[in-house]
Amino acid sequence: MKIIYNCYGGAHSSVTAAAIHLQMLPETRKPSAAELLNLPYYDAQVGKDHGRIRFFGFDSRGNQIYITGKKNLGVFYEEIMYNLLFLGGDKQEQENFVFINTMPYVNIWMVIGGFLSRRLGWKALGRPLVIYGTKQAYWKFIHLINLVKDKYIKP
Amino acid sequence: MKIVFLDHFGCFASVVLAAYCTGILSPKAVKTKDILDLPYFADVESWQPGKLYFLGKDQAGNVYYTLGAGFYSNLIKNVVWPDLKKLGEIKEKIVLYDVNSLNSLFLIYLEILSKGKLRKITKYLWVYWFTYVKKIGQ
């Protein structure tokens, strides 16, 4: 199965969710700033990376985990992706894909911090805000991953 | 080969162009009614991106579709689709065309703000746009 976590820029919430899924971040405590910044792609993607589907790793069941930025396509991203896969003709392959929208778990700190750091390039100001926001929303991301694993990953 | 025209809602410029390609619409004598009668043109159900429509086949056997991709048809065509094709191991030949530039930005915003509820009126504005302003097919 291919699980694609998607958010606006593919730099914060999708990376955090994918990292929790792959157990690169702890499930019982909030991560430190260093742990977040050490994640691949965390606060690293820029405008030209939007839309690129990046491989993040294999989970314990062998599922492939990806992240991507979909800009303001919102919930329509999933619909467009499934329609394009439908055109590909392979129904089995279509069912093999799962798109997880991480945007509902993004808080105002992540939005402001992400904008300052990624769009304006003010890392010194944006990074602390986005890290604070990620920590604030962390239990929600844990909950999301539990839901994803419960729904899509068969034991 | 499958040819997909991408525009904001998948039911305006993309439908008109697909109709030319399939031969439903003749470029020689386009009348308002011809465009209004096109299948899926200004479809009331399509006021948000994401809808895929099958438009038909041309004489060469190419199959035509339209897909609503919002303001991001360019992103879908140039960035997302090549990655998805590789990831999904899609072997079928599919060509995407971004035709969003043929749509009127003013009318797109009108559709978004009205959530498609003014479609009975705006569809005439769209036809006017295609026949007299953009002059598609001429």
DSSP string, A89-146: --HHHHHTEEEEE-GGG--HHHHHHHIIIIIS--HHHHHHHHHHHHHHTHHHHHHHHH
Whether B52 and A86 lie within 8 Å, measured CB to CB:
yes
Instruction: State the pLDDT at residue A90.
Output: 72
Tally the residues of chain A: 155
Chain B interface disruption, residue of A87, A95, A96, A99, most B CBs within 10 A: A87
Q: Model-level pTM?
A: 0.89
Work out how many domains chain B is built from and give that number.
Answer: 1
In a domain, B114, yes or no: yes
Q: Look up the domain containing B95 and give its range.
A: 2-133
* Domain-located, residue B138: no
Q: By percentage, how much of chain B surpasses pLDDT 90?
A: 57
Beta strands in B16-81 (DSSP E): 52-57, 63-68
**With bands split at pLDDT 50, 70 and 90, how would you rate the model's confidence at B3?**
very high
Q: Which residues of B touch A51 (CB under 8 A)?
A: 72, 75-76, 78-80, 83
pLDDT at residue B136 tops 90: no
Of the two residues A89 and A154, the one the predictor is more confident about is A89
More confident residue, A141 or A92: A141
Whether the predicted interface score ipTM is above 0.85: yes
pLDDT per position as a tens digit, A71-123: 989 889 999 999 999 998 777 777 889 999 999 999 999 999 999 998 898 98
In a domain, B76, yes or no: yes
Per-residue pLDDT, averaged over B105-126, amounts to 90
